[in-house]
Amino acid sequence: MLSPYLNSLIEKAKQDIKTIVLPEGEDARVLEAAHLAANQKMARLVILGDKKKIESFFAQKGWSLDDIQIIEPEKSEHLKEYASLLFELRKAKGMSEDEAQKTALNYNYFGTLMMKSGHADGMVSGANHSTADTVRPALQIIKSKNPAMGVSSFFIMVSKNRPFILSDCGLVIDPSEKELADIAVNAAVSAVQFGIEPNVAMLSYSTKGSGKGDSPQKVKNATALALQTINSEPYNTLNIKIDGELQADAALDMTVAAKKAPESDVAGRANVLIVPDLNTGNISYKLLQRLGGCEAYGPILQGLNAPINDLSRGALVEDIIGTIAITAIQAQNK
């Protein structure tokens, strides 16, 4: 049973159909998600894997493969071209032609090279791979949309049918002030892509100087940097509000906000929550999900030239469908 929010994402994905590659054709959950996503007509799905095995899996289930393309990277007519592309892109980093040929056969690299070549709009992987294995080809090949800004990740958390953004819970381990500012700006852009008008709170254990320490100071300095960025092109047309440093209660609760940060135009109405480091982000989303009953979609990469997203290895079929929809929506807005 899909949640109302997940259904709303699927409807959005359907409005402009994108091609999404799924490199983990050996995984039954990925195949079921591909079948359901194709049935819903929410994306054009391309599965990488053993054609015979995938066809027999679908036949056993009585599912049609009409709207799904299967590619066996080893036999692909594009393999040579992808390997040359990879070599060109990575030779300055020391990659040899031989290494490029082997690496292009890695399905995560193959899928990423399909995107780089314009043969796919997005990729969803990670059901059987670590975050690093999924994300590294994206960082090396697709790269940051704004070269001056780092790539990071966010979760869409849904509480009582209301979505909000939490970032970074998945990628940047211990962000510098500049990296934290980039996370905030990219999270605001992500919010806009998902129909949320961004009120960004830079979270801390301190509200406007109430607590002392290096961490609140870092958050305060990052807020100043992020404010500079959102006042310049191309961000200045997005109606982004950012404030910090704020405690979570001051960010979310109007009564607390009135006491702790009465001047703030974000406090009490924050819907984009930026945490100071990956420890806080990862722990927060899991607590919100397990104890707070929130739906959690992510980690979703932000700031890339084109969308590649990571699945948790414990991902359920619904999680994979949600991530396909999110990736398609990001591709619509890239």
CB 325 within 8 A of CB 309: no
CB of 82 vs ligand COA, minimal distance in Å: 17
For tokens 């958390």, the residue is: 157
- What are 131-135's contacts with CB under 8 Å, separation 24+? 131/170, 131/171, 131/299, 131/310, 133/108, 134/108, 134/308, 134/309, 134/310, 134/311, 135/171, 135/301, 135/308, 135/310
Residue with Cβ nearer ligand COA (17 or 85): 85
Residue with Cβ nearer ligand COA (3 or 131): 131
CB of 139 vs ligand COA, minimal distance in Å: 3
Residue with Cβ nearer ligand COA (2 or 95): 95
Pick the stretch among 97-105, 147-155, 195-203, 313-321 that binds ligand COA (CB under 6 A).
147-155
Residues in contact with ligand COA, counted by CB under 6 A, come to a total of 17
Residues between 119 and 138 with contacts to ligand COA, criterion CB under 6 A: 131-132, 135-136
CB of 310 vs ligand COA, minimal distance in Å: 7
Residue nearest to ligand COA (CB): 139
Residue 9's closest CA among 332, 308, 326? 326
Residues between 170 and 199 with contacts to ligand COA, criterion CB under 6 A: 170-173
Q: Answer yes or no whether residue 93 interacts with ligand COA by CB under 6 A.
A: yes
The DSSP call for residue 268 is: T
Q: Per-residue string for binding with ligand COA, 3-32, x by CB under 6 A?
A: ------------------------------
Q: Answer yes or no whether residue 140 interacts with ligand COA by CB under 6 A.
A: yes
- What is the CB-side half-sphere exposure of residue 171 using CA atoms within 13 A? 30
CB contact burial 131-161 (16+ within 10 A = b; e otherwise): beebbebbbbbbebebeebbbbbbbbbbeee
Q: Answer yes or no whether residue 139 interacts with ligand COA by CB under 6 A.
A: yes
Q: Answer yes or no whether residue 106 interacts with ligand COA by CB under 6 A.
A: no
Question: What are the CA-CA distances from residue 128 to residues 32, 170, 305 (Å)?
Answer: 15, 17, 24
Residue 123's closest CA among 315, 304, 334, 310? 310
Sites of contact with ligand COA (CB under 6 A): 93, 131-132, 135-136, 139-140, 144, 150-152, 170-173, 282, 299
